Amino acid sequence: MSYSGITLALSKGRIFVETLPLLAAAGITPSENPESSRKLIIGTNRADVRLIIVRASDVPTYVQYGAADLGIAGKDVLNEHGGNGLYQPLDLQIARCRMMVAVREGYDYAGQVKQGARIRVATKYVNTARDHFASKGVHIDLIKLYGSMELAPLVGLSDVIVDLVSTGGTLKANDLVAVEHISDISSRLVVNQAALKLKRSLIQPVIDAFSAAVGTRVTA
Ligand code: ATP
Ligand code: MG
């Protein structure tokens, strides 16, 4: 079971695709494509580096417990997780989008807020939503969803949604409009702190290569 190399946790889809150039900059080439392979552990051209493919929202958990040494996760996911025990040295500036409040076209969000109305909020990002509305002093009823948040206001499940927006195309297609910007989102490199101490000679070069490829400095 024990693996002496380093394990990087990634989700498939946009994070995997946008991470490939960063891996290349670190001299790492996956030996299989997770989109077509059913394998969850993917080797690379380097015997001391492997990838594990997990659900985007599970990346922080694998890294927190040391089942992966490093991972790449959206700031949205990290905010929900809390980031406990995770070292976040780099903003990779991939999978960029915005966390927004959106409503059905015609819904008077500003008016409702002004009146002090209780607002029904449907979202997958319950911690983010709770913090956001608490900081505005707005009372909400939270409705936890796992996907397709755009539907909720259309069928009367909620007044607003809190969701990620990139082009706005999905909102538009469903007659929704963004009314408030909560935060800018991009993906971060997360590192298990114990692993960094024990395997620094393997992990630090990866951090440095990613950092150089992104063109930013290590921030912590
Ligand atoms: P799943 O699809 O398994 O439910 P997910 O929706 O979190 O999980 P992805 O859609 O691959 O998985 O999103 C991964 C990350 O990419 C998100 O956590 C977020 O940081 C970012 N992301 C999500 N939607 C967009 C978007 N439309 N444009 C850019 N980045 C996005
Ligand atoms: Mg998705």
What is the average pLDDT across 194-209?
98
Q: How far apart are CA 101 and CA 163, in angstroms?
A: 7
Query: What pTM was computed for the model?
Result: 0.94
* Ligand 2 mean position, distance from CA 212 (Å): 28
Q: Whose CA is nearest to atom 4 of ligand 1?
A: 147
* pLDDT per residue as tens digits for the range 42-88: 999 999 999 999 999 999 999 999 999 999 999 999 999 999 989 99
* pLDDT per residue as tens digits for the range 132-190: 999 999 999 999 999 999 999 999 999 999 999 999 999 999 999 999 999 999 999 99
DSSP letter for each residue of 108-137? -HHHHHHHT--EEEEES-HHHHHHHHHHHT
Whether ligand 1 lies within 6 angstroms of the CB of 22 is answered as: no
Whether ligand 1 lies within 6 angstroms of the CB of 14 is answered as: yes
pLDDT at 203: 98
DSSP character at residue 56: G
Q: Is the confidence at residue 217, as pLDDT, over 80?
A: no
Q: How far apart are CA 11 and CA 68, in angstroms?
A: 13
Q: Whose CA is nearest to atom 5 of ligand 1?
A: 56
The answer to whether 37 and 58 have CB atoms below 8 angstroms apart is: no
Q: How far apart are CA 9 and CA 51, in angstroms?
A: 6
Whether ligand 1 lies within 6 angstroms of the CB of 164 is answered as: yes
Q: For the chain, which domains are there?
A: 6-95+186-219 (3.40.190.10), 97-184 (3.40.190.10)
